[in-house]
Structure 1
């Protein structure tokens, strides 16, 4: 792939004797949103961490925006906005200080207005100068989405962005995903919430035991029929 998108081929990740990812293939085109669905331990978060440059692949290839995460790690990381499934925030820092740090690390200029708009969009404008130590889990999730989206990355990786988030926050996160798609970013959303995944993503990839069992149109996973199809893929 010469530019844009996400391409994963034969990805394997081992932690000692445990193979967390056992040969995953994925492709997300620019302007597309793909959901990773599966139970805990299916390999969703590990796959996301490889693409974000947090965990090295044991075998296979992973490319983001045309860069191999192993051969060109710094270039790949610059292309990615990553919302991890847990952690990533400094308890004694405010949301605005988090944005300042992110902007400094990425050498962004003129980011302040976008930062304010994202905080307002994710209903965090009123707590922009409050330390995150007292934030609820849902508030922390929303701030992680803001930080991932701040620099308008070519690849947006959101790992469990809806976990503990109320319906208003979910809609706001949908808006961030749609905005990213509209400007041509490839979006990968990892979640165990099937009903939300099919609302915001065009395709769904189901992982089980570290392998991909299927990639299907989101409509295939909708409603009661979709729930039955999902359960069958996890069986």
Structure 2
């Protein structure tokens, strides 16, 4: 079975429900700390949802649950039509995940990262897309340089490339704009729009409200591990949106 076959399986499962992501009553605990406290999220096919909130709001933990990295303590989590607890492998196959930190091998080059991703996902004929993504993110000239010397922004850009390579049914981008220059921001916008155009569900976690408003159709604001509101992105734009956002963060 090729990587393209896996993509089609994920897409078909999503078509049955019309939802790429459905989270109900998600709770995650680390010892005595409840990092996520009953979060509900829904992201339809072709939709992008932004997760906004301060550090410690539960954004990255929610992303890690969706990516199959952290198990939920309670609640229902379905990605690409697959329950992450009942069908973890199928759920992971449907997802492309850019973590908030780490994920890169310091002694490997961007091209070697692409090769590893392709091998793990059994992709064939991926080389042209890999080259195109590296060029789009201004990483073509360093494709064969080890990532140990990369700036934070370069590492962020490569992480988005790796998440998008196999055209997943669900694209999870955790802080993709952190330390990224305008070229990288524009390239990430293009990847998100491409994903939406082919019917993928996109979840973007960021602390940058303006960028979330620009690229997402809705935003969900988290505070203290709980979802305070889900709002059409237009209502979060400009000075009025900034005031509304501050009010939600303050409680």
User: 2:30 aligned with 1:15, yes or no?
Assistant: yes
The runs of 5 or more residues in structure 1 that have no matched partner are: none
User: 2:197 aligned with 1:182, yes or no?
Assistant: yes
Aligned to 1:71: 86
User: 2:135 aligned with 1:120, yes or no?
Assistant: yes
In structure 2, what is the Cα distance between the partners aligned to 1:116 and 1:30? 27
How many equivalent pairs are there?
Answer: 235
Per-residue deviation, 1:168: 1.3
SS at match of 2:186: helix
TM-score by length of 1: 0.99
Per-residue deviation, 1:222: 0.3
SS at match of 1:81: strand
Per-residue deviation, 1:97: 0.1
Aligned to 1:89: 104
Per-residue deviation, 1:210: 0.3
Per-residue deviation, 1:186: 0.2
Per-residue deviation, 1:96: 0.1
Aligned to 1:80: 95
Per-residue deviation, 1:167: 1.1
Alignment of 1:1-235 (within 5 A): 2-3=16-17, 4-235=19-250
TM-score by length of 2: 0.93
In structure 2, what is the Cα distance between the partners aligned to 1:220 and 1:204? 9
- Deviating 4+ runs (over 4 angstroms): none
